[in-house]
Structure 1
Amino acid sequence: MVQAWFMDTSDADQRKLHQTDPPQFVSPKELLSSTGVESFEITIDDNLTDPFLSKIREERKYSYEDEITCCPEELPNYEQKIKSFYEEHLHTDEEIRLVLEGSGYFDVRDQQDRWIRVAVGKGDLLVLPAGIYHRFTLDEKNFIKAKRYFVGEPVWTPINRPADSEPSRKSYLQKLETGFKA
């Protein structure tokens, strides 16, 4: 199950926890209502036969998938890629990740523009809405293997902040204002 918390303002290694002192945790319900980020637990087996995963893929029309492994041994230009993943950006489509192995962090902005760190591990399915400012980093273990799901052909291009005039951002802000359903 994902864990989430408000981040401290330290500029120490991005792979560290970065919790406030004392930690200020964010429940999955609060995460959804304040950011639109959804999280689910999926049973990981050899063929990904979890019925809930099949149901969500069908309901949301995820028609394309691939896998990514992020670690120094497997990801070409590893250091450059990790830095680019950590640049604050948005996408015009949902970002859907299912962690198969390993762990990492997705950082998302809440309604007051504060960073919330979402720790993901094996079996966590995270759905970031289109238009949300976010970033990704590995944790100190430096390894994650994940499935990426898309509706239609994947769009890989991140749009770095500021991008407030981007239609997906405007749509996201409207949904944020009217409230995501918890």
Structure 2
Amino acid sequence: GKLNADFYETDPELEQIRKDQGYSYMDIITIHKDTLPGYEEKLKMFFEEHLHLDDEIRYILDGRAYFDVRDKEDRWIRIAMKKGDLITLPAGIYHRFTLDETNYTKAMRLFVGEPVWKAYNRPADDMDIRTKYVVSLQ
């Protein structure tokens, strides 16, 4: 099915995904200079290449953004995200995030259990989660 970002509060598809994946935590972040305190610093931080110990799940409710990840040869791949797109970046993947020229997105952040907002900037190759991720690619 297709998710409907206009009705995310009552969307049965989204509810089913959350149930199936165990996404018990949810919040909404609006990334725009008028709504996000420390906007410039946060954007810089999001664009710093990093990884997390948990999957990063984002559902774009409005606006547009990019996630950059790397292929096996360490080359950048840009993933364009728009309203209605849901992405899961696996734990241990190096990535970064940025907005497009509209400088605005509204995203739902989903999490299994209590959210941990810790990012580990590259290099973090010696971390167990990174090793596990790299092994999963083989």
TM-score band by shorter chain is: over 0.9
**Number of aligned residue pairs:** 138
Aligned twin of 1:137: 98
**Is 1:108 aligned to 2:108, yes or no?**
no
Structure 2 gap segments, 5+ residues each: none
What's the % identity of the aligned pairs? 57
Change (3 A) 1:41 1:172: farther
C-alpha distance in 1 between matches for 2:58 and 2:107: 6
1:97 aligned counterpart, secondary structure = strand
Task: Give matches, 1:1-182, under 5 Å.
Answer: 41-177=2-138
Q: Pairwise CA RMSD of aligned residues?
A: 1.3
C-alpha distance in 1 between matches for 2:94 and 2:3: 25
Aligned twin of 1:27: none
C-alpha distance in 2 between matches for 1:50 and 1:76: 29
Q: Is the 8 A contact 1:88 1:134 kept in 2?
A: yes
Q: Is the 8 A contact 1:41 1:124 kept in 2?
A: no
C-alpha distance in 1 between matches for 2:104 and 2:54: 25
Change (3 A) 1:139 1:164: same
Structure 1 gap segments, 5+ residues each: 1-39, 178-182
TM-score, length of structure 2 as denominator length: 0.95
C-alpha distance in 2 between matches for 1:160 and 1:81: 14
